[in-house]
Chain A
């Protein structure tokens, strides 16, 4: 449970970043179900002095759509509080003059409407789920292998996530497939990239040590946050699996684990 260093940590805490899937809700066929206690927990956080932001690697739907879905579940959440990879990717693409071949879920396409996609000079891969057919992957592969300098962007690199009927492959394995096929290394946009976390911190106007990241993914949520200097809290919901954790280099304090779902030390 919580150790004595919690008290001093809690005093310097000015902000919280919450992961969405696996922390507030579990995804599934019907759009998902809230994790018991989470709606109330978010209300309590908002009522406190802590600044709150939501950080997700959700790339199956545009922000408007999934925020609307969460609001229907009862969560007090708005689009401007949510940070996700697609808008961050759009900024990177425009900044570097990249024209993407998109291998993403249909629901995400609208986020890229303002980006020139003709004559692609890079590939962007997101959590395309059912769109990860052999032929779609092959098309993305052919774009990459045909480029003199193959550039692959991955919207996150998670290994898997929890759905109602079990664990499902996330974008990471498909990123690895394309990396292996083309002998390239992907640039990750989204958790756990520090550029991504820093963009959230800068929006909050806070320093890393003043912020805690709460997530179910030891590597992408907690580990990534800690590498930036934030505190990390791992919850035992979502994709969390008991057992020896993967070795995570550079972890400072180490992740705390909370017992019951939806409740956090500071609430």
Chain B
């Protein structure tokens, strides 16, 4: 193990790492409390495109996790920050339940297009509107490019295919802001005023959580819960800084080797 480096921030994935649907990972709540006793900033990071932070917060609190809304950073937050930094007025192709996270932005006379997971907006007329804006030069921001997801009644198209459609139609490329994009991690760290070398990411997705974080200069801890499948650690290069059984084990390691 390399010598101790100062650790100032811990980013924690939500679904698959702290909880699976409506069940918390065993011991996760208590592990989070122990982590909070150390002098680190904690952020909860996720690629959700449908749920606003308040919904996520409510679900986690129902599972007895101790956290505040401002500690949650989603791919929607990353999209919002990007639009704000560039002083743009977005056409928001996001679910109504996610619009809350864009409150306060001027959306009149749009000059940017933000694409989240929004089946009700992925109709011909709305996509035409988005296409015409992008063709004329409006930046295209993709919350993420997932191909599909598991819905109650089967697989369903994610935002990725629609972003690909707009890119092809307009000849322009989208800026993708969700994990594993580097911009996602640098956005949340810049909010904390912390450099990547001082931060670690804990997640169950080898490519999107650990690979993405390490690519941004952080250390990544892969946990064997959620979507993890045996051998995932060898599917990214370089491999994870650490692979361990679950979030509580990751916290044990951090407290023992970095934070005490």
Contact = CB atoms under 8 A, between A and B. Distances in A.
A181 B160 contact: yes
B167 to A, nearest CB: 8
Chain B binding surface SS class = helix
Contacts of B161: 137, 141, 176-178, 180-181
User: Could you say which of B120, B154, B171 has the most chain A C-beta atoms within 10 Å of its C-beta?
Assistant: B154
Contact of B124 (A133, A166, A178): A133
A168 B132 CA distance: 8
A74 interface: no
A176 B124 contact: no
A160 B161 CA distance: 17
B156 A132 contact: no
Contacts of A134: 119-120, 122-123, 157
User: Could you say which of B120, B128, B167, B170 has the most chain A C-beta atoms within 10 Å of its C-beta?
Assistant: B128
Interface string A161-203: 0000011111011101111111100000000000000000000
A141 B155 contact: yes
Given A169-B128, A169-B169, A133 B157 contact: no
Contacts of B132: 166-167
Contact of B171 (A131, A133, A174, A246): A246
Chain B interface size band reads 20 to 34
Contact of A176 (B127, B157, B164): B164
Contacts of A129: 124
Chain A interface size band reads 20 to 34
Contacts of A172: 168-169
A138 interface: yes
Contact of B157 (A131, A141, A168, A170): A141
Interface in B133-176: 135, 147-148, 154-158, 160-162, 164-171
Contacts of B160: 180-181
Contact of A130 (B124, B135, B164, B166): B124
A142 interface: yes
User: Could you say which of A131, A142, A178, A181 has the most chain B C-beta atoms within 10 Å of its C-beta?
Assistant: A181
A173 B148 contact: no
Interface in A108-130: 129-130
B168 A159 contact: yes
B131 A167 contact: yes
A167 B148 contact: no
Q: What are the 8 tightest A-B residue pairs by CB atom distance, in nearest-first order?
A: A173-B165, A177-B161, A180-B164, A173-B169, A176-B168, A134-B119, A177-B165, A181-B161
17 contacts: A130-B124, A137-B161, A141-B161, A166-B128, A166-B132, A167-B135, A168-B128, A169-B165, A173-B127, A176-B161, A176-B167, A179-B164, A180-B147, A180-B161, A180-B164, A181-B147, A183-B147
